Amino acid sequence: MNNENKRIHQSDTLDIREIGTPIDGRAQYSDRRLYFQLHVIENYRNDSAKIIEILNRSCLNSVLYDSLNNPNAIGILFIAENPSDLINESINLIDCSENLSYRSDMTMIGRTYSSGREPDLEEWLIKKPMSNVLNPNFTWAIWYPLRRKPEFYQLEPRERGRILGEHAMLGRSYAEGGFAKDIRLACFGLDTCDNEFVIGLVGSELYPLTRLIQDMRSTEQTTKYIDSLGPFFIGKVRKQFTK
Q: How far is the CB of 142 from ligand HEM (least distance, A)?
A: 8
Written as one string, the DSSP assignment of 17-81 is SEEEEEETTEEEEE----EEEEEEEES-GGGHHHHHHHHHHSSSEEEEEEESS-TTEEEEEEEES
By CB under 6 A, tell whether 96 contacts ligand HEM: no
C-alpha span between 205 and 211 (Å, rounded)? 11
- CB burial string 71-97: b at 16+ within 10 A, e below: eebbbbbbbbeeeebbeebbeebeebe
Written as one string, the DSSP assignment of 154-220 is HS-HHHHHHHHHHHHHHHHHHHHTTS-EEEEEE-TTTSTT---EEEEEEES-HHHHHHHHHHHTTSH
Instruction: Please select the residue that binds ligand HEM; options are 34, 38, 125, 199, rule is CB under 6 A.
Output: 199
Q: Candidates 11-19, 35-43, 127-135, 221-229 — which segment interacts with ligand HEM by CB under 6 A?
A: 221-229
By CB under 6 A, tell whether 180 contacts ligand HEM: yes
Instruction: Please select the residue that binds ligand HEM; options are 51, 212, 234, 237, rule is CB under 6 A.
Output: 212
Instruction: Please select the residue that binds ligand HEM; options are 172, 236, 239, 243, rule is CB under 6 A.
Output: 172
Instruction: Please select the residue that binds ligand HEM; options are 148, 166, 205, 232, rule is CB under 6 A.
Output: 148
How many chain residues bind ligand HEM (CB under 6 A)?
A: 25
Instruction: Please select the residue that binds ligand HEM; options are 89, 118, 182, 191, rule is CB under 6 A.
Output: 182
By CB under 6 A, tell whether 167 contacts ligand HEM: yes
Instruction: Please select the residue that binds ligand HEM; options are 221, 234, 237, 240, rule is CB under 6 A.
Output: 221
By CB under 6 A, tell whether 37 contacts ligand HEM: no
- Residue 172 vs 243, nearer CB to ligand HEM: 172
